[in-house]
Amino acid sequence: MTLTRAELAKYIDHTLLAVDATPEQVAALAAEALSLGTFSICVSPSQLPVSAPLGDVKVATVCGFPSGKHAPEIKAAEAALACAAGADEVDMVIDIGLAKAGNFAGLVGEIAAVRGNMPADRLLKVIIESAALTDEEIVLACQAAVKAGAQYVKTSTGFHPAGGASEHAVALMRATVGPDIGVKASGGIRDYATAVAMIAAGASRLGCSASAAILAAAPLA
């Protein structure tokens, strides 16, 4: 599979979620996203609203990040605040313990609480932390996300010691959710070959902080 620089850029959420990120770094991220032509930027909710010019670049943020160990009401309130501050998309971390325990109803409940507290025109991605789950748990979490009304499932926060995205997890997630729900691969995607491999496995979006280096290795045409 080969993607041109412009084609690949449209898969990328250009990401800055470092705990010490500054407003100046967010402004630089926005400028770089505009230059690269990425689909969006993804920043921490405390960095909203983004005042830097963005053109057509969307704004994504996170909630329940990075542990997922927040009450559903807190996640829902965080998502609502983020949308009110200009977020087009919210990447929500599930309580991974619910997936480990096989608690389907609990997963559906917390995801639905977030989805229900967001405007209908905003997009919800559900981070399942796939590297910390068995295949059966990945399937359970993805099925819960679909049932609760999420538009995307996402592999990873990039902060969990178990690791980030894998082609196997992406392929399993795609097989579980079918063609109409998005799959975002995130965590450990640092070069062109890995980015293209994730898309070939079924990813429809990529979370990357090394976007410039990845795209620099992509063919221009």
| Active site members | 91, 154, 184
Gap between the Cα atoms of 214 and 132, Å rounded: 26
Gap between the Cα atoms of 129 and 208, Å rounded: 16
Give burial (CB, 10 Å; 0-12/13-18/19+) of 212: middle
Gap between the Cα atoms of 186 and 194, Å rounded: 11
Question: For the residues of 22-77, what is the DSSP string, one character each?
Answer: -HHHHHHHHHHHHHHT-SEEEE-GGGPSP-S--TT-EEEEEESTTT--S-HHHHHH
Gap between the Cα atoms of 179 and 165, Å rounded: 19
